[in-house]
């Protein structure tokens, strides 16, 4: 198994990609710490993992709250004694508004969860990874980090920040044998995508609304379980020589990930 005896923390693991990765990591031998702001969701993920014979610790926590983040890390250390993998997956879509119509409170919440959460959790686990002499940090990003697509400006800016934080951490942690990479899962069949479709032409342009609907009806949305295999690759020893990269399945295939 690729992650045997490893301990992984996965944020936003109550549903979608986070849940799929938690189950995939467990199947590869890792003990997984899952968290979400919604207790019912992580309970469902925990039950699914336990039913497969996996080891899981479920914690309700807000990634934007520094004290709660520290509590998750402390509890993980108390139960498992180490932290090998951090997957910063928690994110929200944020306000679907053009820039000048975004409420400051909505902007702050988007940055707090999508970007500040990455900073807080990484900052909390890195000292332990340094002590262990190794670690993997996987930041989930988006293609919207690199393109302009109103009305998703707040989300795009937050993910652009994630990309640059990934590069900065990778360089700073290179000498400590801690690899930091970003995973762009593409357009997946998730609740977030469903929420985007529900916005319709009243919020998006008519052409954009039609495009997102077509992604769904024509079966172009990816299954989170398929993307989870890429997360396993980035969490495993197979990616030891990769750091500071931001990419998708195709991008990482050049480093030995098998599509």
Catalytic residue list: 155
Tell the burial category of 156 from Cβ atoms under 10 Å away from its Cβ (0-12, 13-18, 19+). buried
Q: Rounded to whole angstroms, how far apart are CA atoms 126 and 132?
A: 10
Whether residue 207 is preceded by a cis peptide bond, meaning omega within 30 degrees of 0, is: no
Tell the burial category of 204 from Cβ atoms under 10 Å away from its Cβ (0-12, 13-18, 19+). buried
Residue listed under structure tokens 């009806």:
217
Phi, psi of 202 (to 5 degrees): -70, -30
Confirm if 44 and 37 have CB atoms less than 8 A apart.
no
Q: How many helices (H) and strands (E) does the chain have?
A: 10, 7
Sheet holding 56-60, edge to edge: 56-60, 31-36, 7-11, 85-88, 135-140, 178-183, 246-247
Question: Which residues contact residue 234 at a Cβ distance below 8 angstroms, ignoring those fewer than 6 apart?
Answer: 136, 138, 179, 181, 183, 242, 252
């Amino acid at each position: 198994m690729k992650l045997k005896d490893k301990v992984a923390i996965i944020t936003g693991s109550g549903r979608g990609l986070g849940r799929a990765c938690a189950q995939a990591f467990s199947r590869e031998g890792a003990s997984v710490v899952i968290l979400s702001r919604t207790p019912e969701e992580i309970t469902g993920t925990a039950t699914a993992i336990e039913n497969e014979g996996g080891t899981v610790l479920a914690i309700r926590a807000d990634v934007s709250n520094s004290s709660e983040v520290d509590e998750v890390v402390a509890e993980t250390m108390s139960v498992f004694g180490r932290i090998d993998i951090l997957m910063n997956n928690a994110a929200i879509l944020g306000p679907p508004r053009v820039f000048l119509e975004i409420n400051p409170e909505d902007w702050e919440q988007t940055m707090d969860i999508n970007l500040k959460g990455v900073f807080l959790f990484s900052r909390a686990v890195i000292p332990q990874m340094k002590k262990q002499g190794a670690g993997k940090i996987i930041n989930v990003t988006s293609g919207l980090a690199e393109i302009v697509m109103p009305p998703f400006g707040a989300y795009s800016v937050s993910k652009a920040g994630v990309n640059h934080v990934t590069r900065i951490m990778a360089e700073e942690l290179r000498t400590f044998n801690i690899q930091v990479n970003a995973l762009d899962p593409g357009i997946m069949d998730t609740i977030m995508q469903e929420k985007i479709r529900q916005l319709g032409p009243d919020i998006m342009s008519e052409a954009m609304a039609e495009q997102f609907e077509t992604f769904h009806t024509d079966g172009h949305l990816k299954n989170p379980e398929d993307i989870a295999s890429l997360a396993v690759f980035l969490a495993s020893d197979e990616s030891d020589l990769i750091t500071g990269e931001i990419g998708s399945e195709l991008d990482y295939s050049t480093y030995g990930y098998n599509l």
